[in-house]
Amino acid sequence: VQLQASGGGLVQPGGSLRLSCAVSGFTLANSAIGWFRQAPGKEREGISCFSATDGSTYYSDSVKGRFTISRDRNTVYLQMVTLKPEDTAVYYCAADSYPNTGEALCSLSFYGIDYWGAGTQVTVSS
């Protein structure tokens, strides 16, 4: 199983980025996949997760209304708009076949999720 995240970079406040997570060796049907991020000195947090089991999508309060998760076959995207300096973090995609809701996946800790991709750095700065 491989999850490969890409699309990070340096962007000015108010700007946009789209992250991609290419998934191989894992069937997204009847599973959950999402995006997590970890800022320096902070714990990793689940910010947007989708469950194919029940079709639910979860967004944390910190990104709700600004970030959108979507899926196209075996690629999951995170469209980020109106970026803020506090969005600066390493972003990871993760997947697991057990959680049956998006919120359930996003609430899991690192060790509770089966598959992780390497992170991609997002820096929001002027």
List the chain pLDDT tens, one digit each, 126 residues. Answer: 899 999 999 999 999 999 999 999 988 888 999 999 999 999 999 999 999 988 899 999 999 999 999 998 899 999 999 999 999 999 999 999 888 899 999 999 888 999 999 999 999 999
Place of tokens 């990793």: 44
CA atoms within 13 A on the CB side of 116: 17
- Give the separation between CA 19 and CA 48, rounded to whole angstroms: 12
- Give the separation between CA 33 and CA 102, rounded to whole angstroms: 8
CA atoms within 13 A on the CB side of 105: 33
Q: Is the dihedral of CA 82, 48, 20, 94 positive or negative?
A: positive
Helical (H) or strand (E) element with 105: helix 102-106
Residues 6+ apart with CB under 8 A from 111: none
Position 10, amino acid = L
